């Protein structure tokens, strides 16, 4: 730069020297004038570099952009608000039939409805809407309320009489009523009939019956009808209708693994084995099939040895056995020695329920459980919610085979095995919140419950379906809401396509479940709600959503700025400087030209 | 001694029915909303490696032994250790790790199941354990499979500082990362109550950003204080245990599985002059009173049990006609009785509530600016200001050196 500007100076100084003799030329001030037009090369060079930088900038921006799959935030919000406003309704149809009575059907209907509304609690997550129809069949005439019954199969008057109700054989009565009402119909019926032996039974399907004596008022019968409808058919025999999460042992991916363990406490005394395969096929398979919509159940079994228990028992002379009490139950499971959790079938989000048969050693045989009221337990078993159940089985004779040194290997007799599995099914029902006794003791009387070969009666499966659908849908909605809040709070986190797909399918399944629930399709709605929950959990627990792995904007800036910022600063400044210089030189040239024109 | 035992039993007999009544009433009134406490989990993390951090591994292993002895099984313990002490070439006692110079107890002796060892102990894996976001191939033994009714004990030891914890000399866990993970756990209902115990220097600062309810946090020292080791084992050549953990273990050695000392007695057993630091307990997020909470709520095992009254006799229908109604109508829910709570120590609580007081409002503007910086509410905007200020600085410097 200095060299170039020097040249005109020299020239002009020579010229001014020569010009001292010549006539006075116009004053040439090299600071503000120049004789030649300024060139564009320098300007072109610097601006082309600047232009290439500017051209490359959009490519850089695109390369550091993060991919976020678009999530349907509005639909997630609408699902949450939809569920919160309690619009999830299951339609329930009740039918009460009074045989041998002679009263006004409308009045009875009104009193039963008012009793039902009194018994239903209001703070539930999922409501049910009821419709009740009452039929009074007094032999001669048949009254119905309401007159037009909306259901498909109305009851034919006179098809049930008092002689159908055998007080001894409940199963036969149940079958008879089932053939009258139809087994697949989704309506809950209660039959009240006048007879000699008072008895109240709830059947395996969806009907119950009550034989009342002659002295009972029809109003009392109506109260009892309302109670069985609400407490048994709707709530499943539980006190409150709300859902307690410790009796929902279904895993987040909709799977349950039942792990059956046979524990030999001291194999030196005796070793017991069992024929699990046969029992699985005959006893467990129907129950697993019945619970198909609620959970996907798989079964495993193992036999363990050298597994002493952790609590103590004492010898009771009167009972001639070793006794442990309910206070010891929390310490019974010896988790250090009992290696129960060795399942290979269970995925990360499945629920494992352990069912343990404990065969005590010869030192503690027979081992009985004593209840706080002094009685001995009939089942010798207990459950722990969300964990599983334990049962103690004592060998037939507690005599140790001390003659020969080899350990005696026995198989558990089939009859004992069947009894054992009956206890297990009772425990499984307890883990789902039902009682293991076949009696419901309500405020106005006792109802006997007919057991089913599949472990759960039809109405119990309905209760499970309704509760699990409700729970799954609410869980799905809260999970998706948490996910959307999380994703919106981390604007620079990559959201993979897989997450977007899972959210979409989850929302579709939730919509399907809601529509199925409103028309009363219990099985389909439970399956869809289970899928919705499982997909929502998969999306929320996707391993790529870790905030530690994603860099904030400041980090990105700090990484790229040492590369580009100093260089770009220089380039920009050089371009500006060249522009300024060009303008200056141009101004100088123009000034000289003007002066030359003015002087000549 | 005999009279002492008698009076204790009489006290228990008198208080037991009252507590039973109270607990039954409380249970009935609040049974709809409160979840049952179903199990206990423990996550024990040792964040240091290398031989001179022997004491951190000894701390974690001692607590692991204590928790197992009091009943939590291996399947509900997640143990994260660098695990380079026992077979270290500098270890004079190979395959043995001690926490006391009397070498009475070999912590590494039997039945130690380490879930994350060596270089697997990273901040990312730790946060994955807490939030539950694992790859599908991770086995169940490496996952925290807690549910709404779980109480979780989280114990961390190592080197730490102001709002951070150093992981294996290469990365840090910051207090906001921990708070964020706990918030996500709470949203997903992965715990009912959480007890965090941290034994590092300036441990209390790690809890500054916690906001989720149901969290109780105990730190071994306050901001600006160090946590010291207890004693040096001249035979092994390094310090073998830290003071805070030593006194915690001393408290638990006096307990057995049936005991019911409360958390406040645990906390009051920390003596600042013996610890040479001030133990800190953050209890504003925890609703229950510490005197009512037994330590076995976190450190022991609990199993709510319900007796099975009857078998479900539908399957073997040999005599199909006779259906015998089971008339045993006793209450099928037998919650084991609430135990009385006794304080192991009768000292007054040496409790330091979270000190929000900034004593001595100083008039110097620099210190006030420093205080504002330290509070760090608008850290993001401050950083942005700094970045923007960088630009004219660059311009000026390149102009000057053209």
Mean pLDDT, rounded, of chain B: 79
B339 pLDDT more than 50: no
- Check CB contact of A562 with chain B, cutoff 8 Å: no
Kindly state the percentage of chain A with pLDDT values over 90: 27
pTM: 0.78
Does residue B339 contact residue B302 with C-beta atoms inside 8 Å?
A: no
Chain A positions in Cβ-Cβ contact with residue B78 (cut-off 8 Å): none
The order of strands in the sheet holding B215-219 is: B116-117, B77-81, B39-46, B150-157, B193-199, B215-219, B280-282
A405 pLDDT more than 70: no
A230 pLDDT more than 50: yes
Q: What is the pLDDT of residues B177-203, one digit of tens each?
A: 999 999 999 988 899 999 999 999 999
Chain centre to alpha carbon of residue A478: 10
Q: Which of B356, B300, B309, B324 is nearest to B66 (CA)?
A: B300
Q: Which of B314, B322, B334 is nearest to A421 (CA)?
A: B314
Q: Rounded distance, CA B109 to CA B72, Å?
A: 18
pLDDT at A404: 56
pLDDT at A494: 86
CB–CB contact A383 B313 (8 Å): no
A235 pLDDT more than 90: no
pLDDT at B368: 62
Give B156's pLDDT tier (boundaries 50, 70, 90).
Answer: very high
Give A232's pLDDT tier (boundaries 50, 70, 90).
Answer: confident
pLDDT at A273: 92
Rg (CA), chain B: 26
To the query of whether residue B336 is one of the catalytic residues in this protein, the response is no
pLDDT at A127: 73
Cα–Cα separations (whole angstroms), residue A323 to A320, A360, A370, B15, B306: 9, 12, 6, 27, 18
B17 pLDDT more than 80: no
B46 pLDDT more than 70: yes
Give B332's pLDDT tier (boundaries 50, 70, 90).
Answer: very low
Helical spans, DSSP H, in B118-242: 123-131, 175-187
Q: Distance (Å) from the C-alpha of residue A490 to the closest C-alpha of chain B?
A: 12
Chain centre to alpha carbon of residue A323: 41
The token pair that represents A435 in the structure block:
């009682």
Q: What is the pLDDT of residues A478-489, one digit of tens each?
A: 999 999 998 888
Average pLDDT over residues B265-283: 92
Q: Rounded distance, CA A86 to CA A88, Å?
A: 5
pLDDT at A556: 81
The token pair that represents B398 in the structure block:
């390149």
Give B213's pLDDT tier (boundaries 50, 70, 90).
Answer: very high
Chain A positions in Cβ-Cβ contact with residue B323 (cut-off 8 Å): 169-171, 448, 450
Pick from A98-102, A383-387, B60-64, B184-188 the range whose average pLDDT is largest.
B60-64
pLDDT at A148: 65
Q: What is the pLDDT of residues B51-110, one digit of tens each?
A: 999 999 999 999 999 998 888 888 899 999 999 999 999 999 999 999 999 999 999 987
B214 pLDDT more than 90: yes
pLDDT at B233: 92
Residue with tokens 């007879």: A195
B355 pLDDT more than 70: no
CB–CB contact B39 A326 (8 Å): no
pLDDT at B183: 92
Mean pLDDT, rounded, of chain A: 84
**What letter would DSSP give residue A68?**
B
Chain B positions in Cβ-Cβ contact with residue A486 (cut-off 8 Å): 184
Of A179-183, A233-237, B155-159, B268-272, the one with minimum mean pLDDT is A179-183
Chain A positions in Cβ-Cβ contact with residue B141 (cut-off 8 Å): 341
Give A19's pLDDT tier (boundaries 50, 70, 90).
Answer: very low
Greater confidence (A52 vs B377) lies with A52
Does residue A451 contact residue A457 with C-beta atoms inside 8 Å?
A: yes
pLDDT at A24: 54
Average pLDDT over residues B307-328: 53
Minimum CA–CA partner of B334 in chain A: A326
CB–CB contact B32 A240 (8 Å): yes
pLDDT at B220: 94
- Check CB contact of A167 with chain B, cutoff 8 Å: no
Q: What is the pLDDT of residues A527-536, one digit of tens each?
A: 999 999 999 9
pLDDT at B28: 38
CB–CB contact A343 B140 (8 Å): yes
Under 8 Å CB pairs connecting chains A and B tally to 226
pLDDT at B7: 57
To the query of whether residue B159 is one of the catalytic residues in this protein, the response is yes
pLDDT at A8: 47
Query: What ipTM goes with this model?
Result: 0.79
Q: Rounded distance, CA A345 to CA A353, Å?
A: 13
CB–CB contact B314 A451 (8 Å): yes
pLDDT at A211: 86
Chain A positions in Cβ-Cβ contact with residue B308 (cut-off 8 Å): 377, 379, 381-383, 389, 391, 423, 426-427, 430, 436
The full length of chain A comes to 600
Q: What is the pLDDT of residues A506-522, one digit of tens each?
A: 999 999 999 988 887 88
B341 pLDDT more than 70: no
pLDDT at A450: 86
Kindly state the percentage of chain B with pLDDT values over 70: 75
Q: Which of A115, A117, A130, A149 is nearest to A219 (CA)?
A: A115
A258 pLDDT more than 70: yes
Task: Find which of A330, A332, A347, A368 to mutate to test the B interface (most B CBs within 10 Å of its CB).
Answer: A330
CB–CB contact B308 A346 (8 Å): no
pLDDT at A426: 92
Q: What is the pLDDT of residues A458-472, one digit of tens each?
A: 889 998 998 899 899
Q: What is the pLDDT of residues B249-263, one digit of tens each?
A: 999 988 776 777 899
A83 pLDDT more than 60: yes
The structural architecture, per CATH, of the domain B40-299 is: 3-Layer(aba) Sandwich (3.40)
- Check CB contact of A499 with chain B, cutoff 8 Å: no
CB atoms < 10 A from the CB of A226, how many? Answer: 25
Domain ranges of chain B: 40-299
Q: What is the pLDDT of residues A425-443, one digit of tens each?
A: 999 999 998 888 888 887 7
B351 pLDDT more than 80: no
* Burial of A597 from C-beta contacts in 10 A (0-12 / 13-18 / 19+): exposed
Cα–Cα separations (whole angstroms), residue A502 to A337, A338, A346, B95: 41, 38, 22, 48
The token pair that represents A323 in the structure block:
């006794």
Chain B positions in Cβ-Cβ contact with residue A430 (cut-off 8 Å): 306, 308
A231 pLDDT more than 60: yes
Exposure string over A557-593, b if 16+ CB within 10 A, otherwise e = eeeeeeeeeeebbebbbbbeebeeebeebeebbeebe
Of A34-43, A122-131, A321-330, A571-580, the one with minimum mean pLDDT is A122-131
Which residue among A242, A326, A422 sits closest to B312, beta carbon to beta carbon?
Answer: A422
Which residue among A123, A438, A540 sits closest to B326, beta carbon to beta carbon?
Answer: A438
pLDDT at B387: 84
pLDDT at B47: 95
B303 pLDDT more than 90: no
User: What is the per-residue DSSP string for A421-466?
Assistant: HHHHHHHHHHHTT--SSSEEEETTEEEEE---TTSS-HHHHHHHHH
């Amino acid at each position: 730069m200095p060299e170039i500007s020097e040249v005109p100076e020299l020239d002009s100084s020579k010229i001014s020297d020569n010009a001292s003799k010549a006539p006075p030329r116009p004053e040439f001030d090299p600071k503000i004038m120049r004789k030649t037009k300024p060139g564009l090369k320098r300007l072109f060079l610097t601006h082309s570099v600047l232009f290439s930088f500017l051209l490359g900038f959009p490519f850089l921006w695109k390369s550091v952009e993060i991919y976020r799959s678009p999530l349907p935030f509005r639909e997630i919000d609408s699902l949450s608000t939809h569920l919160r406003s309690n619009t999830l309704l299951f339609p329930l149809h009740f039918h009460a039939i009074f045989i041998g009575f002679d009263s006004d059907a409308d009045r009875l209907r009104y009193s039963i409805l008012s009793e039902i509304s009194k018994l239903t609690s209001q703070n539930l997550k999922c409501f049910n809407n009821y419709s009740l129809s009452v039929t009074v069949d007094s032999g001669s005439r048949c009254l119905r309320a309401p007159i037009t019954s909306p259901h498909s199969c109305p009851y034919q008057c006179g098809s049930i009489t008092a002689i159908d109700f055998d007080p001894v054989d409940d199963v036969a009565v149940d079958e008879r009523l089932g053939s009258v009402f139809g087994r697949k119909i989704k309506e809950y019926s209660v039959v009240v009939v006048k007879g000699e032996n008072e008895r109240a039974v709830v059947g395996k399907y969806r009907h119950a019956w009550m034989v009342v004596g002659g002295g009972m008022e029809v109003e009392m019968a109506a109260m009892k009808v309302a109670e069985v409808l609400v407490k048994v058919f709707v709530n499943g025999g539980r006190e409150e209708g709300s859902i307690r999460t410790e009796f929902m042992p279904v895993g987040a991916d909709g799977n349950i693994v039942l792990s059956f363990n046979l524990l030999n406490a001291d194999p030196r005394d005796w070793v017991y084995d069992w024929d699990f395969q046969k029992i699985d096929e005959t006893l467990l398979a129907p129950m697993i099939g019945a619970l198909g919509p609620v959970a996907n159940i798989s079964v495993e079994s193992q036999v363990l040895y050298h597994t002493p228990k952790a609590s103590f028992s004492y010898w009771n002379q009167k009972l001639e056995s070793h006794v442990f009490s309910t206070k010891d139950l929390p310490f019974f499971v010896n988790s250090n020695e009992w290696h129960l959790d060795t399942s290979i079938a269970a995925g990360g989000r499945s629920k494992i329920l352990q069912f343990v048969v404990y065969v005590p050693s010869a030192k503690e045989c027979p081992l009985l459980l004593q209840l706080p009221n002094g009685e001995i337990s009939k089942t010798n078993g207990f459950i722990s919610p969300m964990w599983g159940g334990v049962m103690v089985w004592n060998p037939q004779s507690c005599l140790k085979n001390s003659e020969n040194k080899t350990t005696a290997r026995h198989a558990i007799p089939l009859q004992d095995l069947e009894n054992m599995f009956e206890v297990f099914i009772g425990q499984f029902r307890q883990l789902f919140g039902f009682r293991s006794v076949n009696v419901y003791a309500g405020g106005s009387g006792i109802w006997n419950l007919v057991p089913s070969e599949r472990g759960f009666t039809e109405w119990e499966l309905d209760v499970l379906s309704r509760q699990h659908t409700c729970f799954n849908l609410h869980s799905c909605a809260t999970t998706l809401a948490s996910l959307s809040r999380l994703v919106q709070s981390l604007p620079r986190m990559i959201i993979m396509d897989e997450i977007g797909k899972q959210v979409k399918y989850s929302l579709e399944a939730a919509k399907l479940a809601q529509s199925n629930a409103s028309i009363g399709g219990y099985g389909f709605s439970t399956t869809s709600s289970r899928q919705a929950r499982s997909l929502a959990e998969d999306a929320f627990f996707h391993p790529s959503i870790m905030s530690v792995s994603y860099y904030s904007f400041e980090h990105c800036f700090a990484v790229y700025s040492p590369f580009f910022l100093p260089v770009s600063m220089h380039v920009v400044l050089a371009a500006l400087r060249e522009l300024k210089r060009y303008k200056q030189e141009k101004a100088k040239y123009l000034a000289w030209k003007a002066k030359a024109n003015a002087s000549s | 001694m005999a009279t002492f035992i008698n009076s204790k039993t009489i006290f228990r007999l008198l208080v037991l029915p009252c507590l039973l009544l109270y607990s039954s009433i409380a249970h009935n009134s609040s049974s709809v909303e409160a979840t049952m406490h179903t199990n206990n989990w423990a996550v024990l993390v040792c964040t240091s490696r290398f031989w001179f951090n022997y004491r951190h591994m000894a701390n974690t292993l001692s607590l692991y032994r204590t928790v197992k002895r009091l009943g939590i099984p291996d399947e509900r313990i997640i143990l994260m250790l660098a695990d380079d002490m026992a077979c270290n070439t500098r270890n004079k006692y190979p395959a043995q790790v001690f926490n006391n110079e009397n070498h009475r107890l070999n912590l590494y002796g039997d039945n130690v199941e380490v879930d994350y060892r060596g270089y697997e102990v990273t901040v990312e894996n730790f946060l994955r354990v807490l939030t539950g976001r694992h790859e599908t191939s991770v086995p169940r033994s490496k996952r925290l499979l807690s549910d709404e009714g779980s109480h979780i004990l989280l114990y961390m030891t190592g080197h730490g500082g102001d709002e951070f914890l150093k992981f294996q000399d290469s990365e840090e866990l910051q207090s906001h990362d921990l708070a964020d993970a706990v918030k996500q756990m709470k949203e997903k209902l992965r715990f009912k109550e959480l007890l965090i115990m941290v034994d590092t220097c300036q441990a209390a600062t790690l809890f500054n950003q916690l906001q989720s309810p149901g969290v109780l946090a105990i730190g071994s020292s306050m901001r600006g204080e160090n946590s010291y080791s207890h004693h040096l084992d001249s035979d092994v050549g390094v310090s073998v245990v830290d003071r805070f953990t030593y006194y915690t273990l001393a408290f638990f050695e006096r307990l057995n599985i049936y005991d019911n000392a409360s958390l406040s007695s645990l906390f009051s057993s920390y003596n600042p002059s013996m610890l040479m630091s001030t133990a800190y307990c953050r209890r504003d997020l925890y609703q229950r009173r510490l005197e009512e909470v037994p330590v076995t709520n976190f450190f022991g095992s609990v199993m709510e049990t319900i007796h099975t009254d009857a078998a479900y006799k539908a399957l073997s229908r040999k005599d199909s006609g006779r259906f015998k109604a089971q008339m045993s109508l006793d209450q099928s829910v037998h919650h084991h009785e609430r135990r009385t709570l006794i304080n192991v120590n009768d000292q007054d609580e040496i409790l330091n509530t979270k000190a929000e007081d900034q004593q001595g409002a100083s008039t110097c503007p620099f210190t006030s600016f420093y205080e504002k910086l330290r509070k760090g509410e608008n850290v993001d905007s401050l950083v942005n200001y700094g970045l923007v200020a960088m630009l004219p600085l660059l311009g000026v410097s390149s102009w000057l050196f053209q």
